[in-house]
Amino acid sequence: MKILEAVGVTKSFGGLTAVDNVDFHIEEGEIVSIIGPNGAGKTTFFNLITGVYEPTKGVIKFLDKDIHNLKPYEITSRGISRTFQNIRLFSSMTVFENIMIGQYCKTKANILNVIFKTKNAIKEQEEAREKVEKIIKFLELDSVANEIATSLPYGVQRKVEIGRALATEPKLLLLDEPAAGMNSQEKVEMQALIRKIRDQGYTVLLIEHDMKLVMGISDRVAVLDYGNKIAEGKPHEIQRNERVISAYLGKEVG
């Protein structure tokens, strides 16, 4: 089943076309990577999926419903969540509190319910805390749950950001360069974590520059170059694709 489908998606900024007539889909339960040289349009494509930008042309469907004209918070409520290339944690909050923020998009209590601590508001808060505790255990963050998130090592902060995304209870998780800035051991751990997330029933779409991670984890790989999708296929097919080699090496092949 296609969980996400983009048809003819284009995004132009004045005279610059950042994403050009891209067709793309991801099946439920897959791990799919989008790769390409710097400036290829990868993050712009993520921003189109998550409502940061609206396509100039084209259609984006999630679970067979149009989402390309929705706001980011509406798309999140539908079941798409993301992380960012540059970690965006709340600097004065603990690991628990940062992850708990993700749960608030699922709660229904209004401000008056919270202020007067109604029965429903208390129950909802307790349920949210239980869900966050499960995420923290799943990510093996128990020992640092009460630490200020931004005081922790870089790799741990990445996990906290992923935890916050998981707290929105997504069906599709978008990871923007999850291994950026990590050392070799942290990258191995991140690869294992992404597999573990998929095995819990999530569908994962990622942008990543580390080819070892991409080729070791992806069911399929799509390649963008100057906003165009130039290739798509299984990792071993992409590794042998002459257009992909040309895009990365900056020269003609063959």
The pLDDT tens digits for 32-73 are 999 999 889 999 999 999 999 999 999 999 999 999 999 999
More confident residue, 110 or 34: 34
Q: What pLDDT, on the 0 to 100 scale, is given for residue 86? A: 87
8 A C-beta contact, residue 106 and residue 69? no
More confident residue, 147 or 116: 147
Q: What pLDDT, on the 0 to 100 scale, is given for residue 254? A: 45
SS3 category, 235: helix
pLDDT bracket for residue 249 (50, 70, 90): low
Mean pLDDT over 126-152 rounds to 95
Mean of the per-residue pLDDT values of the chain = 91
CA distance 195 to 203: 10
8 A C-beta contact, residue 102 and residue 136? no
CA distance 8 to 49: 13
Percent residues over pLDDT 90 in the chain: 77
pLDDT bracket for residue 116 (50, 70, 90): very low
Q: What is the C-alpha R_g of the chain? A: 19
The pLDDT tens digits for 195-219 are 999 999 999 999 999 999 999 999 9
Q: Where are the beta strands (DSSP E) in the chain?
A: 2-13, 16-27, 31-35, 57-62, 65-66, 80-82, 172-176, 203-207, 220-225, 228-233
CA distance 33 to 49: 14
**What's the sign of the alpha-carbon dihedral 43, 81, 232, 2?**
negative
Q: Which CATH number fits domain 1-79+170-254: 3.30.70.1140, 3.40.50.10860, 1.20.1050.10, 3.40.50.300?
A: 3.40.50.300
More confident residue, 106 or 81: 81
Is residue 139 pLDDT above 70, yes or no?
yes
CA distance 52 to 232: 25
Q: Where are the beta strands (DSSP E) in 28-148?
A: 31-35, 57-62, 65-66, 80-82
Mean pLDDT over 122-148 rounds to 93
pLDDT bracket for residue 117 (50, 70, 90): low
* Range picked from 122-126, 172-176, 242-246 for highest mean pLDDT: 172-176
Query: Cα angle vertex 124, ends 100, 79, to 5°?
Result: 60
SS3 category, 192: helix
Is residue 115 pLDDT above 60, yes or no?
no
Q: What pLDDT, on the 0 to 100 scale, is given for residue 82? A: 95
User: What's CA 177's distance to the chain center, in Å?
Assistant: 9
Mean pLDDT over 90-113 rounds to 81
Domains of the chain, by residue range, sit at 1-79+170-254, 89-168
Contacts of 51 (CB under 8 A, 6+ apart): 67, 70, 71, 72, 74, 75
CA distance 212 to 105: 35
Lookup result for tokens 């597999």:
195
8 A C-beta contact, residue 87 and residue 161? yes
Q: What is the DSSP letter of 28?
A: T
Q: What pLDDT, on the 0 to 100 scale, is given for residue 192? A: 96
